[in-house]
Amino acid sequence: MEIMSASRSVWQAMMNGLRQRCPDCGKGHVFGKYIKVNHTCDACGLELHHQRADDAPPYFTMLIVLHFVLSGMLTVEQVYSPATWIQLTIWLPVSLVSALWLLPRIKGALIGIQWARQMHGFGGDFT
Ligand SMILES: [Zn+2]
């Protein structure tokens, strides 16, 4: 059983998660392959398998990406009124790349919040 810290900073854990690092030590990697969460931290041994991010990371990723993409698309449409294929050529790759870039960072941050708030098994008294 892991020993609980006296206090866990939500902000620090989120920042570590955004860097895809362990919410506790900030050194080990949270993910093995892309968004596959490691069983334990490879630096401090924190059990990461307690995370229950589920479908929250893609939800927040889409929320953020689509706000920027739709704003950009509407602005370009208002200013330049380009052909539809030009809009698609711009915004489809932007959407894809930004979503793939953002997803592991958001998932890491959510795992950090879960750890800091001692949610699920991160509190040490949940089996
Ligand atoms: Zn660690």
- In the reported structure, the alpha carbon of residue 43 is separated from the centroid of ligand 1 by a whole-number distance in angstroms of 5
Structural element, H or E, at residue 73: helix 56-80
- In the reported structure, the alpha carbon of residue 21 is separated from the centroid of ligand 1 by a whole-number distance in angstroms of 7
- The model's pTM: 0.87
- In the reported structure, the alpha carbon of residue 109 is separated from the centroid of ligand 1 by a whole-number distance in angstroms of 14
Q: Are 114 and 52 in contact (CB under 8 A)?
A: yes
Q: Are 24 and 69 in contact (CB under 8 A)?
A: no
Please state, in angstroms and rounded to a whole number, the distance separating the CA atoms of residues 26 and 12. 9
Please state, in angstroms and rounded to a whole number, the distance separating the CA atoms of residues 86 and 125. 55
- In the reported structure, the alpha carbon of residue 25 is separated from the centroid of ligand 1 by a whole-number distance in angstroms of 4
- In the reported structure, the alpha carbon of residue 101 is separated from the centroid of ligand 1 by a whole-number distance in angstroms of 22
Query: What pLDDT tens digit does each residue of the chain (127 aa) get?
Result: 445 555 899 999 999 999 999 999 999 999 999 999 999 999 999 999 999 999 999 999 999 999 999 999 999 999 999 999 999 999 999 999 999 999 999 999 999 999 999 998 888 654 4
- In the reported structure, the alpha carbon of residue 13 is separated from the centroid of ligand 1 by a whole-number distance in angstroms of 11
- In the reported structure, the alpha carbon of residue 115 is separated from the centroid of ligand 1 by a whole-number distance in angstroms of 11
